[in-house]
Amino acid sequence: MPEISSNKPYRIGRSKTGLGLFATKKIKKGTKIIRYFGPMLDSKNKKHDDIDNKYLFEINNRWTIDGSVRKNIARYINHACRPNAESDVNSRKRKVVIRAIKTIQPGEEINYDYGTDYFKIFLKPIGCKCDHCEKKRAKKRAEARAEKLRLKLKAEKKAAKKALKVGRKADKSVKKAVKAVKATAVSKRKTVLAGAKTGVKANPHARGTGKPTKTKSARTRPLSQLVQAQNAGRAKQA
């Protein structure tokens, strides 16, 4: 790790993505923090085209800075989607300086936007670790948990409502059965009481009162039988 002069307003420290550059003093908005430097690569040189690393900083279509050298402390500055610094590129002088775009407090990590191409090639496949993206992911996770909980509560409410409906239906069936049993008992009691008053044994399944029915022939006697009965009565009196 390269040494940094104590009068510099930054230090190398541990960050979420490995190493990063942190402010040791208050850095005001607009302040030039550090220069990004290294060997210049010419796109017209075939040997330079073979050089490939994640510290290449393209100035224009022809010139690119190879910032992989250890003395380039600016290479430790990490990417952020909502940065507190930016890269100030001077194409004519082939010079890049990192400048604060807002006041940076001591202990705060210095970062700038690496650009769309770098983001798509290096950061998007593994997921950006900057604070802004971390907060977005945390928010999405919280929303997903809240939605999962909402669906769970909805399912529980639906199940409870269904159980209550089934319970009410069962109660109605029980009440109906009890009512039928009571009606049958009352009917039998009325039948028994009616039989007790008439002196006839109640038979709820028989028709009528149960008394024998006298036919017309049984009620009417022949004349000869009546005469014999009268004679028999007189003989007894004599």
Query: Within a domain: residue 235?
Result: no
The whole domain housing 30 covers: 10-127
- Three-state secondary-structure class, residue 223: helix
Structure token digits, residue 170: 């069962």
Q: How far is CA 129 from CA 18, 37, 76, 85, 173, in A?
A: 11, 25, 15, 17, 63
Do 114 and 48 lie in one domain? The reply is yes
Residue 231, amino acid: N
Query: Within a domain: residue 1?
Result: no
Do 119 and 100 lie in one domain? The reply is yes
pLDDT in tens, the chain (238 residues): 677 877 899 999 999 888 999 999 999 999 999 999 999 999 888 888 888 888 999 999 899 999 999 999 999 999 999 999 999 999 999 999 999 999 999 999 999 999 988 888 888 888 888 888 888 889 988 999 999 999 999 898 888 888 888 878 887 887 888 788 788 877 777 776 776 666 655 555 555 555 555 555 555 566 666 667 667 766 666 5
d(CA 174, CA 165) in angstroms, rounded, equals 14
Do 15 and 43 lie in one domain? The reply is yes
- String of DSSP letters for 23-73: ESS-B-TT-EEEEE---EEETT-HHHHT---TTEEE-SSSEEEETTSTT-G
Do 73 and 95 lie in one domain? The reply is yes
Render pLDDT for 41-64 as a digit per residue (tens, 0 to 9).
Answer: 998 888 888 888 889 999 998 999
Report how many domains make up the chain: 2
Query: Within a domain: residue 148?
Result: yes
Structure token digits, residue 43: 């796109």
Do 152 and 95 lie in one domain? The reply is no
Answer yes or no: are the C-beta atoms of 108 and 131 closer than 8 Å. no
Query: Within a domain: residue 216?
Result: no
Do 91 and 161 lie in one domain? The reply is no
Do 89 and 169 lie in one domain? The reply is no
Query: Within a domain: residue 193?
Result: no
User: Which contiguous run of DSSP H or E holds residue 199?
Assistant: none
Answer yes or no: are the C-beta atoms of 22 and 37 closer than 8 Å. no
- String of DSSP letters for 81-93: SS-SEEEEEETTT
Do 65 and 122 lie in one domain? The reply is yes
Q: Residue 205: its pLDDT value, please?
A: 53
Cross-strand partners of 90: 95
Residues 6+ apart with CB under 8 A from 137: 127
The whole model's pTM is what?
0.62
Query: Within a domain: residue 100?
Result: yes
Query: Within a domain: residue 26?
Result: yes
- The enclosing domain of 29 has a CATH number of 2.170.270.10
